[in-house]
Amino acid sequence: MSRSSCLALLCILATPAHAAESSRGKLYIELAFKSFEAKDYAEALTSFRKAEQFVDELGDPAGLRYNIARCLEELGRHREAYEAFEIYLKLDDSKEGQKAATDRMKVLDPKVFGGLRVECDARGAMITFGEEEGVKCPHAWPRLPAGPYELGGRSAGGVDTSASPAVVAGKVGTYTLKFPAKLEVEGPEGTEVEVDGEARGALPLEAFLLAPGAHAVVVRRAGQPEWRMRITSVPGEVGMVNVPVAGAPVKAETPPGVADATGEAEPAAGVDLLAVTGWSLVGVGVATGVVSGVLWGSALDASSAADDAISEIDLEAYDTAKSDVESANQAAVALTMVATAALVSGVGVLIWGD
């Protein structure tokens, strides 16, 4: 392979006139050519770099820059090669050399640049991309140097987020910037807040981050029932839970313009006083009914004894049995009424509680 075909048309660096001005610079150029022809591009690059210190004596800075760019290209350092060709094109050189550099840059372009479209999962988000601020999401950058970038965003609800997407050379990718949600709880000082089994502390609390989706919120306050609620947090929005001073159920407010953001609170599972009362009354009714049944049996026995006394013409025994029958009947009737009332009340309370 000839030296001219190796480094395209820019081998003029090693002409005799330039070599006379700087034998050392010529030596580095000669070494660079030999290394390039041997496909030892790293060594060729090193020699060309050393020759840079003699560029004034060599008299061809454009040719030297071109050759450095070619070495970088062969080494797969595409972005550095592209930038080196850009530097070369700013220098004075022949039209042929300028065209050669432009052609090489066209080859390198898809290896150096890519594109990125940024989308957001929160409404009204504004994004910061690199040094660009206040960009409305979604937005696309069709041509960017490949590599990682810093991306930030703020939703219309005032929730911030950040990410580090990467631009891939030769591709236009799409990246979705995901926003967390926030929850703000307001109420009496000292109210304890728990979310998904994790204690968040006692009020007052600053709004805290939540993953978008369903969450279980528990609110506890001394002297008040424990309340539980289900909320659905929305990306980029701040949900609100208002804890009343006393008496009223806890409620969650829906952020403006967001559908299905929260649910309503319900009492926490615990001792159900209505159920306890209802079953207690049922129990009393059943027990009283059993006793009244025993008394009805006693009344029947006393009535049978009275019949026997009549048949035996025993007036004293008859009077005693007759008195026992009346007493048993009165007690049985009273207890039957109590049992009936207790059963009816108990069943009614249980139905009402459900």
CATH code of residue 253: 2.60.40
For the cut 90, the answer to whether the pLDDT of residue 258 exceeds it is no
Q: Are residues 290 and 330 in the same domain?
A: yes
Instruction: Give the tens place of pLDDT for each residue, 294-318.
Output: 766 776 776 776 566 556 655 566 5
- Together in a domain, 187 and 171: no
Domain presence at residue 103: no
For residue 74, pLDDT beyond 50: yes
Q: What is the pLDDT of residue 286?
A: 76
In this structure, the answer to whether residues 168 and 197 fall within a common structural domain is no
Distance CA 152, CA 175 (A): 12
Residue-wise pLDDT tens digits, 307-353: 665 566 555 665 676 677 677 677 767 767 776 776 677 666 556 55
**282 has pLDDT over 90:** no
Q: Long-range contacts of range 248-254, CB-CB < 8 Å, 24 or more positions apart?
A: 250/219, 252/217
What average pLDDT does this structure show over 201-213? Answer: 95
User: How high is the mean pLDDT of the chain?
Assistant: 80
Q: Is residue 99 part of a domain?
A: no
Q: Is the pLDDT of residue 64 over 70?
A: yes
Residues 155 and 210 in one domain: no
Residue 70 has pLDDT above 70, yes or no: yes
Instruction: Name every residue whose Cβ is closer than 8 Å to that of residue 94 and which is 6 or more positions away in sequence.
Output: 9
Distance of CA 255 to the CA centre of its chain: 18
Distances (CA, A) of 66 to 2, 4, 59, 61, 111: 18, 13, 14, 9, 19
Distance CA 27, CA 29 (A): 5
**pLDDT > 70? residue 198:** yes
Assess whether pLDDT exceeds 50 at residue 194: yes
Which structural domain, as residue segments, surrounds residue 132? 113-177
In contact, 146 and 204? CB cutoff 8 Å: no
| Final residue of a structural domain among 157, 177, 197 | 177
Whether residue 202 sits in one domain with residue 226 = yes
Domain limit, last residue, from 144, 161, 177: 177
Last residue of a domain, one of 126, 154, 177: 177
Q: Tell whether 98 is covered by a domain.
A: no
Q: How confident is the model over 81-119, as pLDDT tens digits? A: 999 999 999 998 999 999 999 999 999 999 999 999 999
pTM for the model: 0.61
Query: Is position 320 within any domain?
Result: yes
Distance CA 189, CA 222 (A): 11
Say how many domains are in the chain.
4
For residues 65-89, average pLDDT: 97
Residues 7 and 74 in one domain: yes
Whether residue 44 is contained in a domain is answered as yes
Least confident residue range of 24-38, 63-77, 263-277: 263-277
Q: Which residues does residue 145 pair with via DSSP β-bridges, in sequence order?
A: 113
Taking 90 as the threshold, does the pLDDT of residue 49 lie above it? yes
